[in-house]
Amino acid sequence: MVSETSTQTNGHNAQLSLPIISITPYLLQLSPEVETQRANVSAAIHAACRDFGFFYLDISAISEPKETEELTELARRFFYSPQEEKDELSLSNQDHARGYARLKENVTNGKADNHEGIDFYRPVDNPDKTKPLWGENQWPTVPQFREKYEAWVEKMKMLGLVVMEAMAVGLGMTADEWKELRSSVDDSFWVMRAIGYPPLPNDHDGFSCGAHKDYGCLTFLHADTTLGALQVFLRRSGAGPDLSGLPAEQGDEEGVWITADPILGCVVCNIGEMWEIWSNGLYKSTLHRVVHRGSNYRVSVPFFFEPNLDALVKPLDAALRVQKKEKTALPSEGKAEKAKEYKPTVYGEFLMAKVGNNFANGKGKYVDD
C-alpha cells in the first residue's frame, strides 16, 4: 500500500528496493473503507510500474506458503528424475513450445542459459503439433504434479484479472474503458514455466538466464528460498559504473542491478512489453536476469498472464491523458507537439512472429536472441 511502499526496504536503500504491495483489498467485498484501500493499492502499483516495472505482490490472501512450497517440491522431483525420462517430454515431440528443454537448450542474447525447464501454455481447440504453439501440454508423471499446477493456473488467471483491474484504476480508466481492456485479457493465452537452475560453475562467465524483458502482459514469479539469484536492472542516472563484473547486457544504459530475493507470501510481479504499449511507454518493461552462484539447485515457477490471442494492444486513452496532463504541467512544454505513440499490435500476431522465426529452425520457443 502507498504508505508502506516508501518504508519497506527489504535490506536495500528504499529508492533501490522493490515496493511490496498487498492485493488483498481487491479480493475483499467492496465497502467505503475497502474502496479507499483499493485506491491506495492502485496508486502504489501505478508508481511501481513507472519507477521499477517490478514489484512484490503480497498474495497471502489467496495462497498459503504450503501451496507454493509444494509447487517447487514437485518441480524438483521432476528435474531430479533420470534425463531419459525428462527427454520423453521434449519440446520437439510437440509444437516446439510445450514441453521440456534440457540444460543449455534455451538461448538468450546468443548465449546458452544455464537452466532446464518445462513449459505449459493455455490449451487450444483442435490441437495440431505441426502448427506453432498449437500442440498439447506434456505433463510429468510425478504424482500430483498436474493437479497442483492446474490449480495454480486457475489462481494466477484470477489474479491476473484482479491486477489488471487495479492497474486500470491506477491509470484513471473509466468503467467502460476498463470493460474494454478486460475483454482483451479475459481469455488469456497464458504460459507457465517451471525452471531448474543448477549452480553456475565457478569459472562460468555467463548467466543462469541472460538479461531479457518479458514480452507479454504480467509475470507472477514464485521462486524457492535461494537468495541473490534474480537480478533486476533499475535505470538510474548517476548510478556510477556497473561493478558486477558481468558482461554489460544493459548496453550503455546507466543504472544498477539489484537482487529481488523472494519474500514469503509474495510473488514477484513485473510487466511485459504489452503493458509498455498500453501505457504508451509510461510503464517500462524492465530487464532482468538470473545469476545463481549458490551451491543448491534453484527452482522457480513464473506464470505469464498474457492478453487474448485476438487482442488489439494499442495505447490506452487513459495513459495518453496522464501523459498529456504531465506535459502541460511542464511550463517549457506548454505547446508541445503531439506525443509519440506506440504502434498497435495484435497479440497473437506479435507472438507468432516471435515464435515463428524460431519454429522454422526447430526452436518454437520464443528466445530473445
Ligand X SMILES: O=C(O)CCC(=O)C(=O)O
Q: Which three cell numbers stand for residue 66?
A: 504450503
In contact, 272 and 217? CB cutoff 8 Å: yes
Among residues 95, 119, 214, 224, the one that binds ligand X under rule CB under 6 A: 214
- Minimum distance between the CB of residue 237 and ligand X, rounded to whole angstroms? 25
By beta-carbon proximity to ligand X, the closer residue of 101 and 195 is 195
Among Fe ion, ligand X, none, the one that 290 touches (CB under a kind-dependent 5 to 8 A) is ligand X
Among ligand X, Fe ion, none, the one that 63 touches (CB under a kind-dependent 5 to 8 A) is none
In contact, 156 and 192? CB cutoff 8 Å: yes
Task: State residue 113 phi and psi, 5-degree precision.
Answer: -80, 145
- Minimum distance between the CB of residue 40 and Fe ion, rounded to whole angstroms? 28
| 183-222 footprint of Fe ion as x/- string (CB under 5 A) | -------------------------------x--------
Q: Which of 306, 301, 307, 308 is nearest to 63 (CA)?
A: 301
Q: Which three cell numbers stand for residue 255?
A: 543504472
SS (H, E, C) 97-158: CCEEECCCCCEECCEECCCEEEEEECCCCCCCCCCCCCCCCCCCCCCCHHHHHHHHHHHHHH
Which of positions 268-297 make contact with ligand X (CB under 6 A)? Answer: 288, 290
- Minimum distance between the CB of residue 232 and Fe ion, rounded to whole angstroms? 10
Size of interface with Fe ion, in residues (CB under 5 A)? 1
Length of the chain: 369
| 166-205 footprint of ligand X as x/- string (CB under 6 A) | ---------------------------x-x----------
Among residues 221, 232, 234, 367, the one that binds ligand X under rule CB under 6 A: 221
Which H or E element spans position 321?
A: helix 317-329
Among ligand X, Fe ion, none, the one that 230 touches (CB under a kind-dependent 5 to 8 A) is ligand X
In contact, 173 and 318? CB cutoff 8 Å: yes
**Which residues would be at the binding site for Fe ion (CB under 5 A)?**
214
**Which residues would be at the binding site for ligand X (CB under 6 A)?**
193, 195, 209, 214, 221, 223, 230, 288, 290, 300, 302
